[in-house]
């Protein structure tokens, strides 16, 4: 019976993290502004990159912050019960963003939400991963390459600057996010990937 009583709080944490992560801010904000459904633009994702691709620069910035913030919020709320619980909530938030029940399980690729989770779990490696993402995005101008580079280095930064639990979390989330970029990887290798631009109707398939 004790095991059953221990299971239900963890299930509630996982469900709470999932529901927090599943809030589709990109879709909500563009709809509130009276814009078209961003799922009909570019990659069809609800993340900040596709919002930018649709030409809504201001909304894209806000979406980026909110997508990262919901991952961090899930972690910080669950951290009251310990780091293992926080890791569960953060992982669930990323899964919620990628597979939101409200949108028939078709969401974003989880980059911003993962960054928010990593920053909240351990700010030092989280900051290093976020810095890597920003640097590659600014210099290389490929959103997908920035995400892949940051997620590849995330377990290394977490192991070096935090610990094995944080590294394991970064590895799991990194593998998941990179797997969702398989089509981007093919385009990068073929020299066909779209660079980040800030004019209407251009962006990246992220």
C-alpha to C-alpha distance for 102 and 108, rounded to whole angstroms: 13
The whole domain housing 95 covers: 2-190
C-alpha to C-alpha distance for 10 and 25, rounded to whole angstroms: 26
Q: What is the pLDDT of residue 195?
A: 85
**Domain membership flag for residue 199:** no
**Domain membership flag for residue 202:** no
**Domain membership flag for residue 53:** yes
Give the other-Cβ count within 10 Å of 110's Cβ: 28
C-alpha to C-alpha distance for 203 and 206, rounded to whole angstroms: 9
**Domain membership flag for residue 201:** no
Q: What is the pLDDT of residue 37?
A: 82
**Domain membership flag for residue 195:** no
Query: Coil, strand or helix: which one is 127?
Result: helix
**Domain membership flag for residue 46:** yes
Tell me the two tokens of residue 180. Answer: 């969702």
Q: Is-contact 149 136, C-beta < 8 A?
A: yes
CA atoms within 13 A on the CB side of 48: 22
Count: domains in the chain: 1
User: In degrees, to the nearest 5, what angle opens at C-alpha 67 toward C-alphas 133 and 123?
Assistant: 55
C-alpha to C-alpha distance for 43 and 47, rounded to whole angstroms: 10
Q: What is the pLDDT of residue 34?
A: 83
Q: What is the pLDDT of residue 55?
A: 81
**Domain membership flag for residue 197:** no
**Domain membership flag for residue 205:** no
Q: What is the pLDDT of residue 50?
A: 87
Q: What is the pLDDT of residue 205?
A: 46
Divide the 206 residues of the chain into consecutive groups of 10 and give the mean pLDDT of each group: 63 96 95 85 84 87 97 96 95 98 93 98 97 95 95 98 96 97 94 74 46
C-alpha to C-alpha distance for 166 and 131, rounded to whole angstroms: 18
Query: Coil, strand or helix: which one is 82?
Result: coil
């Amino acid at each position: 019976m004790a095991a059953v009583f221990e299971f239900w709080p963890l299930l509630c944490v996982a469900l709470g993290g999932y529901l927090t992560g599943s809030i589709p801010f990109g879709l909500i904000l563009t709809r509130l502004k009276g814009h078209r459904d961003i799922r009909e633009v570019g990659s069809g994702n609800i993340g900040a990159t596709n919002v930018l691709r649709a030409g809504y620069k201001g909304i894209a910035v806000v979406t980026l912050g909110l997508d990262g913030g919901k991952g961090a919020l899930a972690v910080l709320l669950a951290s009251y019960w310990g780091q293992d619980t926080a890791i569960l909530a953060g992982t669930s938030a990323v899964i919620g963003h990628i597979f939101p029940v409200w949108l028939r399980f078709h969401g974003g690729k989880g980059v911003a939400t993962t960054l928010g989770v990593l920053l909240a779990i351990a700010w030092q490696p989280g900051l290093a991963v976020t810095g890597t993402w920003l640097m590659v995005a600014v210099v290389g101008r490929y959103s997908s390459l920035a995400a892949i580079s940051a997620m590849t280095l995330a377990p290394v930064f977490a192991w070096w600057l935090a610990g094995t639990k944080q590294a394991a979390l970064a590895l799991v989330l990194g593998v998941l996010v990179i797997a969702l970029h398989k089509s981007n990887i093919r385009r990068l290798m073929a020299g066909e990937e779209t660079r980040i631009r800030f004019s209407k109707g251009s962006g990246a398939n992220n």
